[in-house]
Amino acid sequence: MADRAVALSGRFGTALGLAVAGLVLCLTLGTLAAVAWRAEAASGLGPADWAAVRFTLLQAALSATISVVLAVPVARAFARRRFRGRSVLIALLGAPFILPVIVAVLGLLAVFGRSGLLNDALRAVGLPEVSIYGLQGVLVAHVFFNLPLATRLILQGWAAIPAERFRLAASLGLGAGEVGRFLERPMLRAVLPGAWVAVFVVCLTSFAVALTLGGGPAATTVELAIYQAFRFDFDLSRAALLAAVQFALCLAAGGLAARVARPAGFGAGLDRPADRWDGASGWLKAQDVGVIALVSVFLLLPLALVLLRGVPQVGALPGSVWAAAVRSVAVALASTALCVALALPLAIAATGRGGRWIEAAGMLGLATSSLVLGTGLFLLLRPWVRPGDLALPVTVLVNAVMALPFVLRALLPALRDLQAGYGRLSASLGLQGFARLRLLTLPRLRAPLGFGAGLAAALSMGDLGVIALFADQGTETLPLQLYRLMGAYRMDDAAGAAVLLLGLSLGLFWVFDRGGRGHAGL
Amino acid sequence: MLVFERARIVQGDFSMAADFAVPEGARVAVIGPSGAGKSTLLAAVAGFIPLTEGRILWEGQNLAPLAPGARPLSILFQDQNLFPHLTVLQNVGLGLRPDLRLDREQQAQVAAALERVGLDGLGARRPAQLSGGQQGRVALARALLRARPLLLLDEPFAALGPALKAEMLDLVAEIAAETASTVLMVSHEPADARRFAPLSVLVADGRAEPPLPTGALLDNPPPALAAYLGQ
């Protein structure tokens, strides 16, 4: 019901929300305008730039396809089986989202790198070695991050099939094949395109993976090309042109994502837990167990290796690493505070009139890359400040904008529930403005606020993006410091720093998320 | 006096008309089949649903420009009458000041209201720690403090057992008498209407009829009401 009288935001709240939306628009589209204005001076895309565009699209398409194809059997295994530790494993599938990319890359190097487990084994049996660098490395890392994402998305599709359908199928004597044909295949047809596009968009803007495992003429993404133009050649026109290209790619992908159909409805079920009678045969059971075991090893082994090697090193880390850690925590906390301060008024305004547009403005972070934002901000601020001075403030700002969509997604459903549940009661009591924020909105939103702040903190903590553009001596964050240690082949220190970074990222998330849940009033 | 002046509510293919007056201080039951629009009628008075045509007036003042919280009324909903994260004291205190900055005298008023509904000593509890009847009493204590001349009950006691419901209705009647409030109460139970409300408004077939004496209406029901009552 379009119930204006019970809308959450008063006039002041709406104005504040509009102001924040305007700020986000300035930051995303405004920096793009700066970029576009500057890009005009460039002579156009050279062959190397076109190669970067092609490689970006190729790796994103392949990463998405591999992730989604592999995720189907994994999700089916999770959907068909009930076992101890299942819910923990499914929760762990969400962990790569807050895992610093650079830590995962270090772990993947320990498995697939030149002196990693795989090549040791290949050498031992006299087979040729494989290289983790180039396209295959980028794909391995992207699948590592996105296979869990795709699995969760597809698993939601399975969970959306009402338990009653499976009961009906069992009562009609349908086996695994028929269940697949009549229930699972229609579901997959509805869910897979969305999952594919989601992974595709993520891989399009992924920077740290390309920075560490890609590179060279054959494996440079547009993001990496922006970084190189900016950092090595200081060719601002070219960086700006590439940033414009990257934005166009993101926009096209975002449009694609918006067009892809939402998962089809399976009608309302009665929310019975889905007992499954198909797939009872030994062969199917073995298949599911094998799939889950393989995926667990693929996801957990790299991290286990990092921990094994790094934990003993943490105590012996050089002072520069600790200084970077302190800097990173400060950046993460500042960016979290900023992100929440932006997200809350935006979310409140987004539940009122014209909310769709305000929400869309907040989601723009999804379709922007942090390097484009960083380049634009640099172009705008260059007349007044040195890039080195900008490194940390710009990182705080960019990280906050990039985390905004995820915090919004955490807040919006809770706010809508709040409005549905208590909107009329508050209106009838005249509870509004700051009293309403203090007495109703904040206390009821504790849990999603804590979760959202945790996401923002962990994402900022692990981010290796815009900081790489600007940082000089003395402004490195921990992920950048770790990257430099890897570049200098100080692998023991790198492993120690990775453990520290992992601990800090997960720790920050845990503290915020926990704080949100702690003695929440019922 | 509460006046419905050629009031009309249209929502999609639902439509209801009301054109009558409720005398001041009256206790009126709103009865009729499910889906006929009993709750909608109250929601329109409370300001949650805009009128498509006509006006609703209290003491000659048009209610349309007033926000729900500014209208001269308190409303008790079917559920969600209390904020679950606030204590009983806070929930009641909202009736005096929505920002809960209560001075000493107001705190004493809150305590007195809780005592009046039989809940003294339970102020520090949260709603989940109370029984359904006690939760209803908290909402009544708040309405008592708000002291608005009009009280709307949208079946707030529907989930209670018959004896408890009768007890709550008696409490409402007492409080309404003390504060000289006009009460509109949606009801499914003819017995409740007889017990509580001398007058009844029948809502059926897209119309809210002018109030009639409850006993006469129930004893000699028009066809729509007879069908609903199963007679």
pLDDT digits (tens, 9 = 90+) for B33-47: 888 899 999 999 999
Q: Which helix (H) or strand (E) holds B231?
A: none
Q: Shortest CB distance from A428 goes to which of B49, B75, B90?
A: B75
Let me know whether B17 and B125 are in one domain.
no
Residue type, A292: I
For the residues A317-327, what does the mean pLDDT come to? 92
Residue B10 lies in a domain: yes
Q: What is the pTM of this model?
A: 0.81
For the residues A52-62, what does the mean pLDDT come to? 94
Checking if the pLDDT of A519 tops 70, the result is no
Measured CA to CA, the distance from residue B215 to residue B191 in angstroms comes to 10
A11-15, A514-518, B5-9: which is most confident: B5-9
Let me know whether B182 and B221 are in one domain.
yes
Q: At A511, list the tokens.
A: 């503290």
Let me know whether B142 and B165 are in one domain.
no
Quickly tell me which residue has 């007195």 as its tokens. Answer: B112
Checking if the pLDDT of A269 tops 50, the result is no
Measured CA to CA, the distance from residue A13 to residue A432 in angstroms comes to 10
Contact with chain B for residue A435, Cβ under 8 A: yes
Measured CA to CA, the distance from residue A354 to residue A278 in angstroms comes to 47
Provide the residue range defining the domain that includes B52: 2-72+148-229
Contact criterion met (CB < 8 Å) for B47 and A427: yes
Let me know whether B158 and B168 are in one domain.
yes
Checking if the pLDDT of A272 tops 60, the result is no
Let me know whether B160 and B63 are in one domain.
yes
Measured CA to CA, the distance from residue A450 to residue A354 in angstroms comes to 27
Among candidate residues A479, A475, A505, A504, the one with its CA nearest the CA of residue A494: A479
Mean pLDDT value across chain A: 84
Q: Which structural domains are found in chain A, ordered by start?
A: 1-41+317-522 (1.10.3720.10)
ipTM score here? 0.81
Residue type, B126: R
Contact with chain A for residue B74, Cβ under 8 A: yes
Among candidate residues A508, A482, A512, the one with its CA nearest the CA of residue A107: A482
Quickly tell me which residue has 């992207």 as its tokens. Answer: A142
The alpha carbon of residue A10 and the mean position of all alpha carbons in its chain are separated, in whole angstroms, by: 33
Residue type, A446: R
Select from B105, B121, B146 the last residue of a domain: B146
Checking if the pLDDT of A249 tops 80, the result is yes
User: Are residues A461 and A100 in contact, defined by beta-carbon separation less than 8 angstroms?
Assistant: yes
Give A396's pLDDT tier (boundaries 50, 70, 90): very high
Residue B143's pLDDT is what? 92
Pairing of strands B182-186, B27-31: parallel
Residue A42's pLDDT is what? 62
Contact criterion met (CB < 8 Å) for A427 and B68: yes
Total count of domains within chain B: 2
Question: pLDDT tens digits, residue range A98-120?
Answer: 899 999 999 999 999 888 888 88
For the residues A344-369, what does the mean pLDDT come to? 81
Let me know whether B170 and B138 are in one domain.
no
Contact criterion met (CB < 8 Å) for B48 and A3: yes
Contact criterion met (CB < 8 Å) for A429 and B86: no
Let me know whether B63 and B90 are in one domain.
no
Cα distances (Å, whole numbers) of residue A261 to A70, A252, A326, B171 = 21, 16, 45, 55
Contact criterion met (CB < 8 Å) for B94 and A429: yes
Let me know whether B62 and B118 are in one domain.
no
Residue A315's pLDDT is what? 87
User: Are residues A479 and A102 in contact, defined by beta-carbon separation less than 8 angstroms?
Assistant: yes
User: Are residues B92 and B143 in contact, defined by beta-carbon separation less than 8 angstroms?
Assistant: no
Q: Is B100 left (phi over 0), alpha (psi -120 to 50) or beta?
A: left
Contact criterion met (CB < 8 Å) for A429 and B126: no
Q: At A486, list the tokens.
A: 């890897």
Checking if the pLDDT of A275 tops 70, the result is no
Residue B78 lies in a domain: no
DSSP state, B3?
Answer: E
For the residues B70-84, what does the mean pLDDT come to? 90
Residue B114 lies in a domain: yes
Residue of A439, A449, A517 to mutate, interface with B, max B Cβ within 10 Å? A439
Q: Which residues are CB-neighbours of A76 under 8 A, at least 6 positions away? A: A158, A184, A288
Residue A128's pLDDT is what? 86
Let me know whether B90 and B187 are in one domain.
no
Query: CA-based angle B96:B102:B108, to the nearest 5?
Result: 80
Give A8's pLDDT tier (boundaries 50, 70, 90): low
Measured CA to CA, the distance from residue B218 to residue B220 in angstroms comes to 5
Among candidate residues B82, B95, B145, the one with its CA nearest the CA of residue B115: B145
Q: Is B35 left (phi over 0), alpha (psi -120 to 50) or beta?
A: left
In this structure, what CATH number is given to the domain that contains residue B156?
Answer: 3.40.50.300
Q: Which residues are CB-neighbours of B135 under 8 A, at least 6 positions away? A: B81, B82, B127
Checking if the pLDDT of A171 tops 80, the result is no
Contact criterion met (CB < 8 Å) for B80 and A5: no
Question: pLDDT tens digits, residue range B179-214?
Answer: 889 999 998 888 889 989 999 999 999 999 999 999
Contact with chain B for residue A326, Cβ under 8 A: no
Among candidate residues A491, A447, A486, A482, the one with its CA nearest the CA of residue A461: A482
Quickly tell me which residue has 């009402």 as its tokens. Answer: A162
Checking if the pLDDT of A244 tops 70, the result is yes
- Let me know if A1 is exposed, middle or buried by CB neighbors in 10 A (0-12, 13-18, 19+): exposed
The alpha carbon of residue A340 and the mean position of all alpha carbons in its chain are separated, in whole angstroms, by: 17
Residue B132 lies in a domain: yes
Checking if the pLDDT of A400 tops 90, the result is yes
User: Are residues A497 and A503 in contact, defined by beta-carbon separation less than 8 angstroms?
Assistant: no
Let me know whether B163 and B174 are in one domain.
yes
Let me know whether B203 and B157 are in one domain.
yes
Instruction: Report the SS3 class of residue B2.
Output: strand
Residue B101 lies in a domain: yes
Query: CA-based angle A508:A512:A518, to the nearest 5?
Result: 140
Checking if the pLDDT of A2 tops 60, the result is no
Select from B101, B125, B146 the last residue of a domain: B146
Beta-bridge partner residues of B207 = B17, B204
- Let me know if B225 is exposed, middle or buried by CB neighbors in 10 A (0-12, 13-18, 19+): buried
Residue B69's pLDDT is what? 87
Checking if the pLDDT of A518 tops 70, the result is no
Q: At B177, list the tokens.
A: 């008498």
Helix B162-179 × helix B132-146 angle, to 10°: 10
Q: Which residues are CB-neighbours of A248 under 8 A, at least 6 positions away? A: none
Contacts of A443 in chain B (CB under 8 A): 85-86
Measured CA to CA, the distance from residue A56 to residue A242 in angstroms comes to 12
Residue of A1, A426, A429, A519 to mutate, interface with B, max B Cβ within 10 Å? A429
Residue B79 lies in a domain: no
Q: Could you tell me which residue, A21 or B184, shows the higher pLDDT?
A: B184
Residue B13 lies in a domain: yes
Residue B42 lies in a domain: yes
Residue A279's pLDDT is what? 63
The alpha carbon of residue B77 and the mean position of all alpha carbons in its chain are separated, in whole angstroms, by: 7
CA dihedral defined by A222, A224, A229, A230, rounded to 10 degrees?
A: 120
For the residues A25-39, what does the mean pLDDT come to? 80
Let me know whether B164 and B67 are in one domain.
yes
Contact with chain B for residue A518, Cβ under 8 A: no
User: Are residues A213 and A139 in contact, defined by beta-carbon separation less than 8 angstroms?
Assistant: no
